[in-house]
Structures are given as structure tokens and as C-alpha cells.
Structure 1
Amino acid sequence: MSEKNRQGKLSARDRIAADRRREEAREKRRKSLVMGAVVLGVLVVVGGVGAAVTIGKKGSTDSAGPVVAPKGATGEDGLAIPLGEKSAPSVLTIWEDFRCPACAQFENGFRSTVHELTASGKLRVEYHLATLIDGNMGGSGSATAANAALCAQDEGKFPAYHDVLYANQPAETTDPYAEPDKLLALAKKVKGLDTPAFRDCVSGNTHRAWVAKSNEKFQQGDFRGTPTVILDGKDVFKNPKPAFTPERLKELVEEKAAKG
């Protein structure tokens, strides 16, 4: 092979390699931009439970129509969904998003303990709903699932349906919760929920303005992301010592209950 041909083949090979490196670099930058938009802190694991720091686009209630609060909503502007006795000595405030993987990690890990403490009258939970993943990833599953959960609240089935949504949460990068049919199918897992009123509420997106208003409230707050979990006024994932676990939650709640 002549020197000229050898150099030509090397040059072609070098060009192919260079093209491949440029394509890999472009793909790496694209993935970095996507991940940066989705999660600012990726996933901070505290005591075995994820706390995702997310930045969402601010929503607005301007085009969402009138605010229709679900039955039993309490708190400022009626934006909290309560669980447990009003007289419970401890209050757990939870801001979460039905598409948020860290929220599912928290809920699935703490579920039995939270239910045990609320049933005993020692703990009251106030759920607040946000739609950060819709803003970060696109889609509408956070908002649509939140509306369906509020429709379940109207039927007195919020806790059970809330748990079903987290137990069956799809991958964050997909958006099946945007489809009413998916949410209606999951309602069949909750005894007595699949009623005409519930189906109409889900299909009609009855509480969409309430959901938008709740998300605006979250955006206005000084929160790190979802889930934000506050026990008796203290953010449990902010420098927790010792780590906040289901056992630690039970210990703190029972200590306060014992003090009367």
C-alpha cells in the first residue's frame, strides 16, 4: 500500500472517530440538560428515604376555571387534605407529587407507620399536592392524578386511593397518569370508589383549579423540593440527626403523645 493510500485510510478512520466523539459529546450534553431540568439535586437519600430537589415551572389558576375544593379540605385556603384526628398531638405535613419517585419512596416506606399512628389518634397528616414533574418533564400526569385523588376525597376514599397511586406509580419519564382511563382502572383497586360521581369528577377534571392553586402555594413556599415532610413545624429531611426513618417517626410521635 502506498504512503498516500495509507494516509488516506488513516484520515478517513480519524474522521469517523472524530465524528463519533462529537456525537457522543452532543448526546452527553443533551442528557445533562434533560437531567438538570428534571432534578437539580438528583436524589438525596436520607435515612433510607429519598428527598428529591426539583424545580418546577410556576403554574397559574387563571385558565383553570373556578376553584372547587374537595370535601373536607382544611387549612389555609382549604388546600390541605387531612387524615387522622383533629385533636392529635402531632401533625405531619406532606407536600408531594404523584409522579415524583422520591415521594413514592417515602410513601411506600412510611405507609404502615403513618396509618398506625393516625389510627391510634396520635398523629394527624395534612397532605398538600404539587405538580412539579409536569413542569419539569412535560405532560399532565401530576395534575390529573392529583385531581383524581381529590375526587376520591369527595367519596371518602382519599387515603386508600392515594396509596394505590403511589404503589402503582409509573416511571417518571412516562406519563400514563395523564390518561383518565388509567386512573379509573386503578380506582377499581379501592372498594366502593368506582362510582358514577367519581368517574365524572375524574373525566371532567373537576378540581383542576384547586390543584393549580395548591401548586402555586408550593412554589411560593421556601421548600427544597418534593417530598417536603414537616413534623410539628420541623423539616424532617433538613440535617436530620439521627436519620429520619419510620421508627424515628414513631418514636417522636409517641414521645409527644406521652407528654400529654
Structure 2
Amino acid sequence: MSEKNRDGKRTAREQLKIDREKQQAAEKRKRALIVGGAVVAVLAIAAVIGVVVANSGSDKTSSASGPAVAPKGAQGKDSLAIPVGASDAPSTLTVWEDFRCPACGQFENSFRDTIHELENTGQIKVEYHLATLIDGNMGGSGSLRAANAAACAQDAGKFPAYHDVLYENQPEETDDAFAKNSRLIELAGKVDGLDTATFQSCVNDGKHDSWVKKSNTAFQNSGYSGTPTVLLNGDAVFPKKGDESITPANLKKWVAEANKGKKAGTVSPSPSTTG
């Protein structure tokens, strides 16, 4: 084989190697873009589900009976908001949720760590409002029962941890597992000090049922399109804020922009879960 032919084959092999490396780099960038867009895509689908939930059917649990007994520490108009985080935080994240709502579960499981980080550094407080849309659309009472149990957890000062446990153990939308008080009490065992006789009585007696129904009526009269509805200082941020889709990084950025030049709130420890 002549030297010229050897040089030609060597050059061809080198070019082939370069082409393969370029292709691998392109595929790596493509995979990164797919992963980076996964949260946005999932939440965009979840947002559509939320709109469908809000606009279909009627809520069969909307007629309250008896006085509305708000949980301890509830705030806002008619005491319908459960606050979490520093009361003097410079920004407020308002969240309307339904514990049976799959879109709410997607939101919570995607943004839980980010929201807790912002709470624990005094950058935001969160005001949770509870709705029971799925009960009306799918039948059953799991939304109502879970919301009452969450309000009972608020009475015990354990709402944040129990709220997270409910979403971490959320059943399928068509499975009304949360309608069973026994299941809600079982899940309370995952939160330190929550599963007490007082909590069990509160859950079994439906102490806050009328309050939950009043909260749901407030949601239906609010003009919001579905759950979850998420507002930062009154401006919608789910599934996007302006032209930007919500992501953990964007939520942090939006909060930082809102808090520019403002002092962080005073933070106190939050109840933990036992796992």
C-alpha cells in the first residue's frame, strides 16, 4: 500500500471519528433539552387538566350544614387561608388546591423542595386554600375528607408536614381512597405527634367540613379557571408568568425580583415527618 493511500485512509478514519463525536454531542444536547423541558411539559398538561376539572360538573359537597369552624391560625377573608412560613415574609404565594386533583399533585411533587426552600429562608409565606372540585366531578368525598383532615392537622400545628404526606400518597383520581377516615388517620402516623385522640376525633367528626365547603364555594365564586391556581403577590404564575413557563428556577427568580431590596421574614422551625 502506498503512503498516499495510507494517508487517505487515516484521514477518512479521523473524519469519521470527528463526525461520530459531533453526533454524540448533538444527541447529548437533545437529551438535556428533553429533560429540561419535562417539568414544563408535565405542568402544562396538568394545567389543562385543572381547567377541565373547574369547568365540568357541579360540586355535590357545596351546600354546607352547620357553622363553619375555621382551623386554628386560619387567616384572610372569612378565615379561609391556612398560612405557612414567616408571617413577615416580603412575598406571598397563594395556592388553591384539591387533595384529589392530579394536577395539584404534579405541582406539589415538582415544586415542593423549591417552595420549602423559599419558606425556610423567609422569602415567601404560602397561603393555602382548599377546594373539593373532584368530589363534584368524579363523585365521592375524598376531597372533602382530606381537606377536613388537613384542617385538623392545622389545629395541631402540623399542617405543612401532613399536607405534603397527602400529596406524596395521593391516590389515582378515580380512586376515592381519601374518603376513608381510617386512611387519613393512617397517613397521620407519618407526621411526628399528629396521630392523637384529638386529631382522630376531629377527622371522624368532620369538625371542619362546613369550613371546607365554604372555602370551595369561595373558589367557585372567584373566577379562577382550575386547580391548582397559584399566585405570587396576586399575579398568576401557573402554568406561566407572562411569557415564561413556571420552573423551579423561574419561581426562585420571580420571588427574588419581587423581594429586591426587602428584608427576609423571621423563620420558625416546621413540623417534620417520620417517613
Where on the TM-score scale, by shorter chain, does this alignment land: which range?
0.7 to 0.9
Check whether the contact 1:47–1:244 (CA below 8 A) recurs between aligned residues. no
The normalised TM-score by structure 1 is 0.79
Aligned to 2:189: 188
Shift of 1:87: 1.4
Shift of 1:47: 5.3
Check whether the contact 1:131–1:143 (CA below 8 A) recurs between aligned residues. yes
Shift of 1:202: 0.3
The residue correspondences of 1:41-80 to structure 2 (distance < 5 A) are 46=40, 48-49=42-43, 50-51=46-47, 52-53=50-51, 54=53, 55=55, 56-58=57-59, 62-80=63-81
> Are positions 1:257 and 2:256 aligned together?
no
Check whether the contact 2:109–2:167 (CA below 8 A) recurs between aligned residues. yes
Provide the rounded CA distance (Å) in 1 between the counterparts of 2:64 and 2:115: 36
After TM superposition, which residue ranges in structure 1, 4 or more long, deviate above 6 angstroms? none
Number of residue equivalences: 216
What's the CA shift string for 1:139-158, capped at 9, x where partnerless? 00000000000000000000
- Structure 1 unaligned spans of 5+: 1-44
Shift of 1:85: 1.3
**Larger displacement relative to structure 2 (118-127 or 57-66):** 57-66
Provide the rounded CA distance (Å) in 2 between the counterparts of 1:226 and 1:239: 14
CA RMSD across the alignment = 1.6
Percentage of pairs with the same residue: 58
Aligned to 2:155: 154
> Are positions 1:207 and 2:208 aligned together?
yes
Provide the rounded CA distance (Å) in 1 between the counterparts of 2:256 and 2:172: 36
Q: Given the superposition, is the C-alpha separation of residues 46 and 217 from structure 1 closer, same or farther in structure 2, using an over 3 Å criterion?
A: farther
Check whether the contact 1:97–1:129 (CA below 8 A) recurs between aligned residues. yes
Check whether the contact 1:59–1:212 (CA below 8 A) recurs between aligned residues. no
Provide the rounded CA distance (Å) in 1 between the counterparts of 2:61 and 2:227: 19
Provide the rounded CA distance (Å) in 1 between the counterparts of 2:244 and 2:145: 37
Aligned to 1:244: 246
2:231 aligned counterpart, secondary structure? strand
Provide the rounded CA distance (Å) in 2 between the counterparts of 1:208 and 1:216: 12
Aligned to 1:233: 234
Check whether the contact 2:61–2:136 (CA below 8 A) recurs between aligned residues. no
Shift of 1:251: 1.1
Check whether the contact 1:46–1:237 (CA below 8 A) recurs between aligned residues. no
Q: Given the superposition, is the C-alpha separation of residues 124 and 152 from structure 1 closer, same or farther in structure 2, using an over 3 Å criterion?
A: same
- Structure 2 unaligned spans of 5+: 1-38, 263-275
The normalised TM-score by structure 2 is 0.75
1:173 aligned counterpart, secondary structure? coil
Provide the rounded CA distance (Å) in 1 between the counterparts of 2:235 and 2:229: 10
What's the CA shift string for 1:98-133, capped at 9, x where partnerless? 000000000011101111111111101000000000
1:183 aligned counterpart, secondary structure? helix
